[in-house]
Structure 1
Amino acid sequence: MYFDKVRVLKSDDKSGSYYKDGLALGATSPKTKFNQGTVYGGQTIWSHLTIANSAAKDIKEDGAEIHTIAVNIKRENGEGHSENEIVQGMYRMASRKANATGSLSNQNDYFFQKGSTSDIETYIENWYQEIAQSISKAKINDPLGDMVDLVGTPMIKRVAGGNDFPIPTVDVKDNRRRLLVENLNLFKGQEIQIDYTVRLRTEDSNYVPGKWYQTNGQTTLEPSPERSPDVLDFGVPSVRKKDDRPTLEVPVEKKWEDTRSGEADFWGLRPDKVGAVLQKKDGGKWVDEKQIEVTKAGNWKALFDPVMGGDTLYRIVEKERVKGYVAATYTPTTFTEASLGAASGTITNKLLTTNYTFKKFSHDGQTAFKGANKPKFKVTRQAKDGLGEKVVVANMEPADDGTVRTEGLPIGSYTVEETHVPTGHQRMSAFTIDVTENASGTAVIAKVAGQSGSHTVVNKLQAFTLLVSKVNHNGAALEGATFSVTGPNGYNKKISTGSSFTFTDLIPGTYVLTEENAPKGYVGMKETLTITLNTDGSVVFGEIENKPMVTGSASLSENKMTVTVKNTPVGTLPSTGGGGTTPRYLLIAACGMVGLSLLGFLLVVEKRRSNS
């Protein structure tokens, strides 16, 4: 507190309706400084400046603003204060400017000291303007946001309250990172607008599409920086670039229907990769949006690069149909971001297959094998076109009607070979089933030797051998005979050596065995023997039961027929019991013995009668 460093909190300054003059404080009018100090409450007061500054302090603390004016301040008439003390006492009563800095001085206060009345008029006019203005000597500070750059030159313009009031300029500071407006004065109803353009730093490494970024830092207005410390904040706008990045990620999965006997890709026909296309509906047509390879190494799963989501309609298609498979099916057939959700689009390929049947018959091409003597087959996919050899089915048997059926054959070439040959028959020749796609790729066709119709294979009977053995009446080998055999396809063979006669290469049909010449001193087989070899390998010896000197047998497993012809010596009658012939003298002796027996019987009977 100036001058006495004593603040007067209460004073008795009136006598009735009149203020008391200074004499009561001990001053001599018109002096400001007392002749001697006056003690109140233990404090000594020496000057009216102390009383005036105490009253000014009370007024300022009530919110009022005090301006003081000093004109022609001079020390005269024995004034105890110096001119400087009087001036200091006056500017200390004035309100301090809100933006004042540093120590107390008349430069920081609302204090005016001039030497002429014209100067006072100018000051008072400015003072009035300052008091009347809503915004006085205001400052706008507008730093830019970290993610924007200033484009072009900022412009300030009047938007309300007239077109003739003064407006300041906009200064660009800090390497074009801050806008500054100073000394802005506005009366009630006056408005200005500052226009400028900023560019979002989309190239910045920290930029995230679609994210909101503040265009400014803390933007403030100091409406009357000299009169008030108030700082007002402007709302800070934000800017973003519409996130036009693709956001929809579409997973795709390839599924195969080609399992056989529990083994996936049994045939090895899957490629290592397939191409998938994500298409977008554009008006009335589908256009390719993204492409990707779905690979075996990737477990037949992949993820398309992101595309725009929303209500856009998409579908997944296979780039090319996989050879040997039905044209792919898709789930879902079409979708949007919402309808797909967390699911995957699937491409399903089903293997194209076909069945093939052929007929298997015995020698005559009509009779099927039955029972335990059925043939068995093996079907093997050939090593061809990069595919390895693979057994498709083994030990396949025909049905009772001779039908052999192999099922589920995809494209490829298949060898059919006989693994078990019916007894007594020749192994059939292996043949190839070729399975190829039709022209449209919608089915596969099986052909044998270029023909898709029924195919018949036959087991020809193995050629039989006829072994003729020549023996005498005692069963001993007998040489010297000649035998011939005639039969189908001009078969005619004669053998005249040894006691065994082997006729080979006999095929089904009827043969005639003839003993052309008997051994010397023996009676030969006078009638021919008919032998029928049936297509199933059975043998019938014609009327052999009426030929006691001939026996016959057959073996299918050995493809052999055996005939034994017994000759009797000349002059010997053949027996009918199969015991051979007996010389005539034995028969005569037998008759004589019978006669003697009868004679003895008659003698015994006659003697018994005489005795009686």
Structure 2
Amino acid sequence: MKKNIHKNPRNKIVHFLGIALLMGSIVTSSFLQPMMTASAASDITPQYTTNSSGIVPTNSWTIPGQNTVINHQGGDTTNGWDKNRSWNGDSSDLSDSYLKFGTDTSNPDCQIRKYAKETSTPGLYDVYLNVKGNKLKVYKPIDIVLVVDMSGSMNSESNGGTDRITAVKTGIANFFSQIKNSEFAKYVNVGLVGFSSPDKYGTNLNGFVSAPISKSDNQDNINDILNNKLAKSNFKGGTFTQLGLHQAQNMLSNQDSNNKKMLILMTDGVPSYSNKVVTAVASGGISYGTSFDYSKYNAPGVTSAFNNNQNNWDNYKQQYMFNGKNYYYNVNNLPINDTWSGTLGEAAISKNTGTEIHALGIQLANDYYSRHSLYLDKNAIRERMNLLASASHYQDADDADDVQEYLYNQAQTVLSQFNTVNQGTISDPLGSQFIYGDDTPTVKSVGSSVVQNLPTVTKSNGSISVSNMNLGKNQEVQIHYQVHLNTESDDFQPDYWYQMNGTTTFTPTKDSNAVEFGVPSAKAPGTAIKVTKQWEVLVDSSKRPDSINFNVTRTVNNQSTNWQASGILSKSDNWAKTFKQLNKNNQSVWLPAYDNNGNTFNYQVSSEATDGYISSIANKTNESTIINTQYGLIIDKYASNSTNKLTGAEFIVKSTDGKQSYTLKDNQLQQLTPGDYTIQETKSPSGYQLDSTVYPITLSQDGKWSSNGQGINVKSPTTDGNGYKDGFSIATDKSNNTGKNNVVRFVKNDTFKKFDLTVNKVDKTTGNALKGAKFTLTDAAGKTSSYKETDPTATFTFENLPSGTYTLKETKAPDGYIASQDVTMVISDDGSVKITNNNGDWKSTLQNDAGNNQISLTVNNTNKTVFPSTGGSGNELYLIVGGVFILIAALAGGYYVFRIKRGYRS
């Protein structure tokens, strides 16, 4: 028989056509569906106006009191736009702003609307999409065959106790009940094919039972299916799914060709029977039979897999096995390894004729081709069951309730064929300037007739999709979700109308054209920041720039964000300007009033830097004052233990980075920029000891002074005895900023150097140095200082004399001289010197070198008459000289008297 089949030209043509049909089914099964197109949607299309203010509906309406959202009007092709410019936006209002479609706009096939309304959160909007259905004006009948697995595994004793038979019977009864009670029962024709496997010696020789296709309001046919074919049939044998599909398709083919065709397949396991494959094609790694020898079949037993073990087969079945064996084989160089090749091929041929196959897998389990050898796991079986069904029409049932629910839904699906919205879909992409709210999109029935099976709504990848929408007369669904206007985007522009969505489309049926919803637009306000500049100059305003750059951050509820932008304020602005835009990443950006969650933004200047100045910023809400202040150092020089200022000192001030160095004189103000510095005295006032100690000082970026890590906060030098301590204080008298702290004072005390007193002994008459004198120098406390004698011993030096009062006493005069009077010498703390009771010369000199200050004192001595003593000349010389003077005086006096008397005589 095999030979005759392949040589018959007629069979070859049939095989060729089968291959062509199957290939077309596999490649385009999702597209080549019956062209039952619902009433075409009208051409009314939303219109929009674009200008400098954004994009808005040309024919619009608004909600009173809401000025940030605008919606599209409703209308139809007969009456145009509804001209309704305003209503309250109540979502329970099911009359306003619908777009109506269909040839009869007084009784439209479907109606849609989309609108948005403000919430209590700024920038957050409720979005509503409504869709109303209707019933078709002209009904197209539908022919259905229920294809029921009647194999032994449907019995509870064969599957662990699950009563699959009763679940199927009850579900089918409910299926008929729903359809019969609808107004469409006479348009729904239903038949039955129950399949198991051929039983040569039993009661089911053909392997199937059937009930003819008849109207759903034909109670006799319903009784035959429920009470005879299903109730009285003995569920036993294998699972010959291909047989059930083949017989069901034959039944459909005998009906009116213009009717819609549908198979509803229900099976609980893998096919364990299949017909012999004559020709095949491959798709997705699976071999599909394209023609079959229906007189022969394979029967692997309890598995779908073929093998070479002939001991697995009953001898009486050999006549039904081609070549008397049951093992894998090749057709068209393609392997036929299991029953799926025949079963899937049969389904593909059926679908290619226009039949829509719905399939239910009841409690699927793994497929073992031997006791411990797995052939296909449950997921692989589910994938093949999906291939049996038309696209998106496969479903699992895990228990009896799932079976009954499935059949209930199938009845609804059947009835939806008479709805104007059948398997309708919505595509709703999000507008580029919007983001979704945190809510999950919801859908509810809002029409007077409840929608039992609500459509599926999903949100992903910036779009909301609605599918499986079936709406008839008086049925309406409403989809709701929320969106935020994305004010935080750098592209945001205040008071500009942005479309809330992209083109939003509604497709009533899978074969109809899409129509457009009207898309709302929304806008949000902007704000501004006022920036003012103040200058506080100490010593030099010539370096003030013509403009400054500043950075701005924004906060929400006093919490900082990672947003930052910059601006430029210039002299030409008179150092004050209000900014509505700033620069961010080389892009000009606007300043929105609130964030994506409706929280108010507060813009503030965060930083600004101008060379030579320290910036401080005073912030208010959306207002900042930048204060640029020069900071400086002044040094006051004092004598130790005194409040007397000294002059003549010099200091060097250096930055630790080596970039700055200044030489300062006492009482000189020097401007400093933030950094670390050292101060060191390089020249002391005359007469004072140089102190080379290095003193650190730091000026921080925010204008804080410190030294050695300790802040400088005192407002005046710290007193110490009769003077001040070395150190730093804030020079409030020199500071000119608001805080009176931009100048720091450094006080440095210098100790007066000690004196060396040099006493020079000379003859008063001749000025010659005299030797042999002795002196003592006693201070006010009675302490005597020692001295050094310099050869010749006419010079005496008293060293390292501190300030105080001293008495110089000549304790031994040079021989022949009278001792000098005591000399009082006062050395003051300021280095001044005063000497009294001195008949000689003196002077004091202040030194700037390493040596002590100097006092030079000349002490004159007068010689005295020396009287004779034993062996000496005594006073004779003095007596002789005195006598001579007396004699001369007597002679002069006598001569004077003689002249007077002579004058009288004359």
**TM-score, with length taken from structure 2:** 0.32
Structure with the larger RCO, 1 or 2 (CA within 8 Å, 6+ apart): 2
TM-score (norm 1): 0.44
Structure holding more helix per residue: 2
